[in-house]
Amino acid sequence: MTKASYSGDAYWAVVNKVYQEMGGTFKHHKKSSIDPSDVERLKEIQESIYELLDEALNTIRMAGSRTTYERSRAYWFAHAQSAITHEGEFVNTYDYTLTDAIKELEQEMGPEEEPEEGAETPTPVG
Protein backbone atom coordinates (compact mmCIF):
# COMPACT_ATOMS: atom_id res chain seq x y z
CA MET A 1 0.00 0.00 0.00
CA THR A 2 1.35 3.41 -0.92
CA LYS A 3 -0.07 6.81 -0.16
CA ALA A 4 -0.18 7.49 -3.90
CA SER A 5 -2.79 4.71 -4.19
CA TYR A 6 -5.19 6.64 -1.97
CA SER A 7 -6.00 10.26 -1.35
CA GLY A 8 -7.11 12.30 1.63
CA ASP A 9 -9.59 10.58 3.93
CA ALA A 10 -9.41 7.29 2.00
CA TYR A 11 -5.70 6.99 2.81
CA TRP A 12 -6.27 7.58 6.52
CA ALA A 13 -9.22 5.18 6.57
CA VAL A 14 -6.93 2.44 5.21
CA VAL A 15 -4.14 3.33 7.66
CA ASN A 16 -6.66 3.24 10.52
CA LYS A 17 -8.02 -0.15 9.38
CA VAL A 18 -4.53 -1.71 9.09
CA TYR A 19 -3.53 -0.28 12.48
CA GLN A 20 -6.68 -1.68 14.11
CA GLU A 21 -6.08 -5.10 12.52
CA MET A 22 -2.63 -5.03 14.12
CA GLY A 23 -4.31 -4.53 17.50
CA GLY A 24 -3.83 -0.79 17.81
CA THR A 25 -6.47 1.83 18.46
CA PHE A 26 -6.65 5.53 17.84
CA LYS A 27 -7.89 7.68 20.64
CA HIS A 28 -10.09 10.52 19.48
CA HIS A 29 -10.20 13.51 21.79
CA LYS A 30 -13.11 15.51 20.49
CA LYS A 31 -14.39 18.45 22.43
CA SER A 32 -18.13 18.78 22.66
CA SER A 33 -17.89 22.27 21.22
CA ILE A 34 -15.15 24.28 19.58
CA ASP A 35 -14.05 27.42 21.33
CA PRO A 36 -13.74 30.29 18.84
CA SER A 37 -10.68 31.51 20.77
CA ASP A 38 -8.91 28.25 19.81
CA VAL A 39 -9.46 29.00 16.12
CA GLU A 40 -8.27 32.58 16.57
CA ARG A 41 -5.16 31.30 18.36
CA LEU A 42 -4.41 28.95 15.46
CA LYS A 43 -4.67 31.90 13.08
CA GLU A 44 -2.24 33.86 15.27
CA ILE A 45 0.17 30.90 15.33
CA GLN A 46 -0.09 30.61 11.54
CA GLU A 47 0.77 34.30 11.16
CA SER A 48 3.71 33.93 13.58
CA ILE A 49 5.01 30.98 11.57
CA TYR A 50 4.89 33.07 8.39
CA GLU A 51 6.71 35.93 10.08
CA LEU A 52 9.42 33.64 11.50
CA LEU A 53 9.91 31.88 8.17
CA ASP A 54 10.33 35.24 6.45
CA GLU A 55 12.75 36.40 9.13
CA ALA A 56 14.84 33.22 8.85
CA LEU A 57 14.99 33.42 5.06
CA ASN A 58 15.83 37.14 5.16
CA THR A 59 18.62 36.45 7.68
CA ILE A 60 20.09 33.86 5.34
CA ARG A 61 19.76 36.26 2.42
CA MET A 62 21.62 38.98 4.32
CA ALA A 63 24.28 36.77 5.92
CA GLY A 64 24.88 33.96 3.44
CA SER A 65 25.70 33.47 -0.19
CA ARG A 66 23.10 33.77 -2.94
CA THR A 67 23.37 30.00 -3.47
CA THR A 68 22.54 29.29 0.18
CA TYR A 69 19.63 31.72 0.01
CA GLU A 70 18.21 30.23 -3.22
CA ARG A 71 18.57 26.66 -1.96
CA SER A 72 16.91 27.56 1.33
CA ARG A 73 14.08 29.39 -0.42
CA ALA A 74 13.49 26.55 -2.87
CA TYR A 75 13.62 23.73 -0.35
CA TRP A 76 12.87 24.13 3.35
CA PHE A 77 11.16 27.53 3.06
CA ALA A 78 8.92 26.31 0.22
CA HIS A 79 8.06 23.09 2.07
CA ALA A 80 7.25 24.88 5.31
CA GLN A 81 5.14 27.52 3.56
CA SER A 82 3.29 24.88 1.53
CA ALA A 83 2.49 22.85 4.65
CA ILE A 84 0.75 25.88 6.12
CA THR A 85 -1.46 26.88 3.21
CA HIS A 86 -2.36 26.06 -0.38
CA GLU A 87 -1.70 29.68 -1.32
CA GLY A 88 1.65 31.22 -2.12
CA GLU A 89 4.19 31.11 -4.89
CA PHE A 90 5.19 27.47 -4.45
CA VAL A 91 3.42 24.39 -5.78
CA ASN A 92 1.64 22.69 -2.89
CA THR A 93 1.73 18.91 -2.81
CA TYR A 94 0.22 18.56 0.66
CA ASP A 95 -3.28 17.12 0.93
CA TYR A 96 -3.97 18.86 4.24
CA THR A 97 -2.52 22.11 5.56
CA LEU A 98 -2.85 24.24 8.68
CA THR A 99 -5.24 26.46 6.71
CA ASP A 100 -7.39 23.39 5.98
CA ALA A 101 -7.48 22.52 9.70
CA ILE A 102 -8.53 26.06 10.60
CA LYS A 103 -11.28 26.07 7.96
CA GLU A 104 -12.48 22.66 9.15
CA LEU A 105 -12.71 23.87 12.74
CA GLU A 106 -14.61 26.96 11.60
CA GLN A 107 -17.09 24.75 9.71
CA GLU A 108 -17.50 22.49 12.75
CA MET A 109 -18.23 25.57 14.87
CA GLY A 110 -20.97 26.70 12.54
CA PRO A 111 -22.26 30.27 12.51
CA GLU A 112 -21.73 32.29 15.65
CA GLU A 113 -24.79 32.21 17.80
CA GLU A 114 -26.33 35.59 18.34
CA PRO A 115 -28.73 36.33 21.18
CA GLU A 116 -32.39 36.21 20.28
CA GLU A 117 -34.02 39.57 19.78
CA GLY A 118 -35.44 40.83 23.06
CA ALA A 119 -33.35 38.41 25.12
CA GLU A 120 -31.44 39.89 28.00
CA THR A 121 -27.70 40.17 27.52
CA PRO A 122 -25.78 39.42 30.72
CA THR A 123 -23.81 42.35 32.06
CA PRO A 124 -20.34 41.72 33.51
CA VAL A 125 -20.13 42.33 37.25
CA GLY A 126 -17.18 44.10 38.67
Domain parsing of the chain, residue ranges: 35-107
Per-residue pLDDT band at 110 (split at 50, 70, 90): confident
Q: Give residue 29's pLDDT.
A: 55
Amino acid at 82: S
Question: Tens digits of per-residue pLDDT, 29-88?
Answer: 555 578 888 999 999 999 999 999 999 999 999 998 999 999 999 999 988 888 888 776
Question: Tens digits of per-residue pLDDT, 76-100?
Answer: 998 888 888 877 676 666 678 899 9
Distances (CA, A) of 117 to 64, 110, 111, 113, 114: 61, 20, 17, 12, 9
Say if CB 93 and CB 82 are below 8 A apart: yes
